[in-house]
């Protein structure tokens, strides 16, 4: 019985260490809001595609993102919730994660709508939220992230 308990504890410890390593890999990744593109428009809504570049700087360890839940703002006004799921980034590489969302026309004020329709460089996009990775025993562990800004020369 003692041998079983020792094996069980060692297995749990190894899983916990793997979870800590995965958290470290995600924390060390570089996140860039690569692109926000207007993909569809009509009288009632605008459709966008967001591309987030995730760069794993580790030379040996894969980084796995279980999910990301965040909020997109344009010129500091809330636009939509953005969700990314099940992303694996190989060592020393970059993965472009894409999300699409639709924003009702009623969300936009006239000034912001004019800037978007002209594809203005004065737009300031900001994506922040929480990413989750899978820890020991399948528990999702949250980690806040602020992916940054795009536009106004901030990209």
pLDDT digits (tens, 9 = 90+) for 4-61: 445 444 444 444 444 555 556 767 888 888 888 889 988 888 898 999 999 999 888 8
Q: Is residue 94 part of a domain?
A: yes
Cβ 101 vs Cβ 81: under 8 Å:
yes
Q: Please tell me what DSSP assigns to residue 140.
A: E
> Within a domain: residue 38?
yes
Please indicate, yes or no, if residue 83 is contained in any of the structural domains: yes
CA-closest candidate to residue 147, choices 126, 122, 121: 126
Distance between CA atoms of residues 140 and 132, nearest Å: 6
Domain assignment of residue 55, given as a range: 2-150
Q: Would residue 155 count as lying in a domain?
A: no
Please state the rounded mean pLDDT for residues 64-69. Answer: 88
**Percent of the chain scored above 90 by pLDDT?**
14
Sign of CA dihedral 52, 58, 64, 70: negative
> Is 95 within a domain?
yes
Number of domains in the chain: 1
> For 116-142, what is the mean pLDDT?
77
Q: What is the CATH number of the domain that holds 52?
A: 2.60.40.1470
CA atoms within 13 A on the CB side of 8: 5
Is position 40 within any domain? yes
Is the predicted pLDDT of residue 72 greater than 50, yes or no?
yes
Confidence of residue 120 (pLDDT cuts 50, 70, 90): low
Residue 95 pLDDT > 90: yes
Residue 144 lies in a domain: yes
81 in a domain, yes or no?
A: yes
pLDDT band at residue 155 using 50, 70 and 90 as cut-offs: very low
């Amino acid at each position: 019985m003692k041998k079983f308990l020792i094996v069980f504890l060692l297995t749990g410890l190894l899983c916990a260490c793997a979870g800590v390593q995965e958290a470290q890999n995600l924390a060390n990744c570089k996140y860039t809001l690569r692109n926000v593109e207007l993909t569809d428009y009509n009288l009632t809504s605008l459709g966008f595609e967001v591309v987030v570049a995730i760069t794993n700087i580790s030379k040996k360890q894969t980084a796995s993102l279980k999910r990301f839940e965040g909020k997109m703002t344009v010129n500091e006004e809330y636009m939509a919730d953005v969700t990314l799921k099940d992303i694996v980034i190989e060592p020393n590489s970059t993965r472009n994660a894409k999300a699409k969302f639709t924003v009702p026309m009623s969300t936009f004020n006239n000034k912001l709508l004019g800037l978007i329709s002209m594809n203005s460089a004065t737009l300031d996009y900001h994506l922040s939220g929480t990413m989750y990775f899978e820890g020991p025993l399948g528990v999702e562990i949250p980690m806040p992230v602020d992916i940054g800004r795009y536009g106004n020369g901030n990209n």
